[in-house]
Amino acid sequence: MYETITEQARAAVTELLETAALRPGDLFVVGCSSSEIAGGHIGHDSSVACAKAAYAGIAPVLAAAGVYLCAQCCEHLNRAIIMERKAAERYGYEIVGVVPQPKAGGSFATVTWANMEDPVAVETVSAHAGIDIGGTLIGMHLRRVAVPVRLKTEVIGEARILCARTRPKYIGGERAHYVFEDSEAYKVSE
């Protein structure tokens, strides 16, 4: 069972990274209900074993891409984010004083804290992409224009997943020209 969770998590994050075209140094938020992965009810059946299995699939993929993992805590910590200190400092986030626990922060955030080099908690981030495992509602931690991404992998364990990438806002009116993420270069017309 745990090997399947790890493989599903790895497959989902790998596909999302490819779709979102993230760059090294970008932020990737993970909201994870270990309760839902285990087939239980969010917030009631926390499973450190399921969280470890999901983390084992997610963290190495993000690390290999140079993308920062941002683990969303549960509602008891107001959905704070666990991340590496160097990422928090790079983005100018204010560090807050809390350490997650399985029943106050959630198992995934707790496992993430235990496995990071220099973990800290911050109240909020503006991530470039993310995965919501089990209905944890990560939208508050995504940049302003979130684009839903449907993956081949639809569940991790028993938990449904929802994914998103973000893009810059398009501003201006009918005469505006835009730089799209897939354009080779922006050319000014004469």
Beta bridge partners of 163: 131, 149
38 or 89, greater pLDDT? 89
| pLDDT 10s digits, 98-129 | 999 998 999 999 999 999 999 999 999 999 99
Question: Which of 114, 122, 136, 139 has the alpha carbon at shortest distance from 52?
Answer: 114
Provide the pLDDT for residue 170: 82
- Which pLDDT tens digit goes with each residue over 34-85? 999 988 888 788 899 999 999 999 999 999 999 999 999 998 888 999 999 9
DSSP state string for 36-92: HHTTS-TTTS--HHHHHHHHHHHHHHHHHHTPEEEEEP-GGGTT-EEEEHHHHHHHT
- Which residues face 68 on adjacent strands? 27
Task: Name the band, by pLDDT with cuts 50, 70 and 90, for residue 8.
Answer: very high
How many other C-beta atoms are found inside a 10 Å radius of the C-beta of residue 45? 16
pTM of the model: 0.88
Residue 156's nearest CA partner among 47, 11, 40 is 11
CB count in 10 Å sphere of residue 65: 17
Alpha carbon distance 59, 101 (integer Å) = 19
Q: Going from the N-terminus, what domains does the chain have, and what CATH number goes with each?
A: 2-166 (3.40.50.10360)
Decide: 34 and 47 in contact? Cβ < 8 Å.
yes
pLDDT category at 18 given cuts 50, 70, 90 is very high
Nearest to 166 by CA among 184, 142, 182: 142
User: What percentage of the chain's residues is helix, strand, coil (to nearest 5)?
Assistant: 35, 25, 45
| Residue-level pLDDT at 178 | 75
Q: pLDDT at residue 173 above 80? A: no
